[in-house]
């Protein structure tokens, strides 16, 4: 239970499998599934390295925003997993596969295996700016900045249901995994609650039915923006996890949108001792929802 909560990409059955294969140790010893974890226990999971060795480079054109010897910033497509996932077919067609090919032999290694450092995650069906560190020192710096909430600001664009009347607002709540469905996050009595802080600014309204928001997140919790907007009844368009897909029939039919209308739009970060802004242009499917004159306001 602890490991499947800690690693949200791993199902409970997958975690049980690696325990049964003696690939997990606590304080240097293998254990049964009934072991209770204590504070300061040291947990070694060999499966993470083993899984990495199975990842093959795959050729795919990447939408590169910025690249140098230490850092790669991409405009991720929707419908793409960032990391391989532990089920059939989950080790291919991921961002990691494509980065391994793109950065051939220009990445740090672990056990003679090339390793891209994914600095932060985006949901499979969220598009936009994502950072990949190509050197250990860059990964350490960016992770420290994110942990300390310094030097990095992440901005998103989202189209949500209904007219948002508060032009500027901050949502601060505790969220984490839903007790009844481990695939969902919740702000209602979550397991292992963690603070999440999101700020929004209303850019404008669409047909007086939807609202285009620009959001800034101070924390990086799983599904943070989606969960917090759903908690106040401003669901992101076509979010099948936190909204009823039947309500989205009009969106699918009229705009041919088949994923949540959420895009990581800007990264404002300190890079090489100066602040720099990187912008990921909207993907075509989200552009179809937003009128041309409104696109010019972004």
Question: What is the DSSP code string of 200-248?
Answer: EEEEEEETTTEEEEEEEESS--TTHHHHHHHHTT-PBTT-TTTS-GGGG
Helices and strands of the chain, counted as H and E runs = 9, 16
Burial class (CB in 10 A: 0-12, 13-18, 19+), 105: exposed
- Copy the structure tokens of residue 132: 């990949």
Among 59, 68, 123, 125, which one carries the catalytic annotation? 123
- Copy the structure tokens of residue 249: 């029939």
| Residues 51, 47: Cα–Cα separation, whole Å | 6
The Cβ-side half-sphere exposure at 171, using a 13 Å CA radius, reads 25
Residues in CB range of 247: below 8 A, 6 or more apart = 161
Q: Is 123 part of the annotated catalytic residue set?
A: yes
Count of residues in the chain: 298
- The catalytic residue positions are 123
């Amino acid at each position: 239970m602890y490991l499947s909560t800690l690693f949200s990409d791993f199902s409970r059955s997958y975690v049980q499998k690696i325990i049964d294969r003696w690939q997990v140790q606590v304080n240097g010893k293998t254990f049964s599934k009934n072991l209770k974890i204590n504070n300061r226990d040291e947990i070694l999971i060999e499966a993470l390295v083993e899984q990495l060795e199975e990842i093959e480079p795959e050729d795919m054109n990447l939408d590169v925003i910025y690249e140098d010897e230490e850092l790669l910033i991409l405009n991720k497509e929707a419908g793409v997993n960032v990391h391989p996932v532990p089920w059939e077919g989950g080790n291919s067609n991921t961002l990691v596969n494509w980065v391994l090919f793109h950065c051939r032999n220009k990445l740090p290694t672990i056990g003679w295996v090339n390793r891209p450092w994914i600095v932060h995650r985006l949901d499979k069906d969220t598009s936009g700016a994502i950072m990949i560190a190509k050197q250990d020192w860059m990964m350490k710096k960016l992770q420290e900045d994110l942990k300390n909430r310094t030097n990095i600001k992440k901005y998103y664009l989202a189209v949500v249901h209904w007219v948002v009347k508060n032009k500027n607002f901050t949502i601060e709540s505790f969220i984490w995994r839903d007790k009844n469905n481990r695939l969902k996050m919740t702000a209602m009595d979550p397991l292992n609650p963690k603070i999440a802080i999101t700020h929004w600014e209303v850019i404008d309204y669409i047909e007086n039915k939807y609202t285009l928001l620009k959001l800034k997140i101070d924390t990086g919790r799983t599904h943070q923006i989606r969960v917090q907007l759903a908690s106040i009844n401003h669901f992101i368009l076509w979010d099948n996890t936190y909204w009823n897909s039947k309500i989205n029939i009009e969106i699918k039919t009229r705009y041919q949108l088949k994923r949540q209308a959420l895009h990581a739009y800007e990264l404002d970060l300190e890079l090489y001792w100066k602040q720099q802004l990187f912008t990921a242009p909207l993907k075509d499917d989200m552009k179809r929802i937003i009128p041309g004159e409104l696109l010019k306001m972004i």
